[in-house]
A = this chain, B = another copy of it.
């Protein structure tokens, strides 16, 4: 069976459409890294992809829709980045630390992306339901890893997210490019696990 000519047409057009769509997104990331997340301008973005501002509106409904697509893309990148660290390996203290280090590495690697994914810094922007679902999916992985470590209960999980997001945020906003808070991560995880009595240390491994 041959595809109907109409379908072929649609495919070609659609291919081209999605091509420039992703080109717009790539350029949006680059522009945001240049001028800051909030400095994204439709006219400037259009200029960089060889268009005028109104043309962007046939690819995205609004500027917030661009942020939304970037948001979704960012969380997909996070999922990819963490992929290997979320397997069914035996959860040990060291593996947990590795996972957290890997996660924070992702966060500090691109502060613009971090702002978009984890902070509410764009005035009117809120992710759409679909994009938010991707975010929840990516974050559920980490909570699953935690419960695999024998840590259960909302309180412990809230403490975990509060502690780690706090250290990460301090790192990014108060010592970007450095590792003043990053080097506290291992210690923080020990503190946390000791407190909740999970994954006991081997004898004599205190301090």
Contacts and interface: CB of A to CB of B under 8 A. Distances in A.
A55 B123 CA distance: 26
A162 B163 contact: yes
Contacts of A34: none
B170 A162 contact: yes
Interface size grouping (class) on chain A: 20 to 34
A70 interface: no
Given A119-B119, A195-B195, A184 B170 contact: no
Residue in A120, A167, A183 whose Cβ sees the most chain B Cβ within 10 Å: A167
Interface in A34-92: 36, 38-39
Interface string A122-143: 0100000000000000000000
Given A36-B123, A38-B123, A180 B158 contact: yes
Interface of A: 36, 38-39, 119-121, 123, 154-155, 158-159, 161-167, 169-170, 173, 180-181, 183-184, 187-188, 190-192, 194-195
Given A155-B187, A165-B166, A191-B192, 18 more contacts: A38-B123, A119-B119, A120-B121, A159-B187, A162-B166, A162-B167, A162-B169, A162-B170, A162-B181, A162-B184, A162-B188, A163-B163, A165-B169, A166-B167, A166-B169, A191-B191, A194-B195, A195-B195
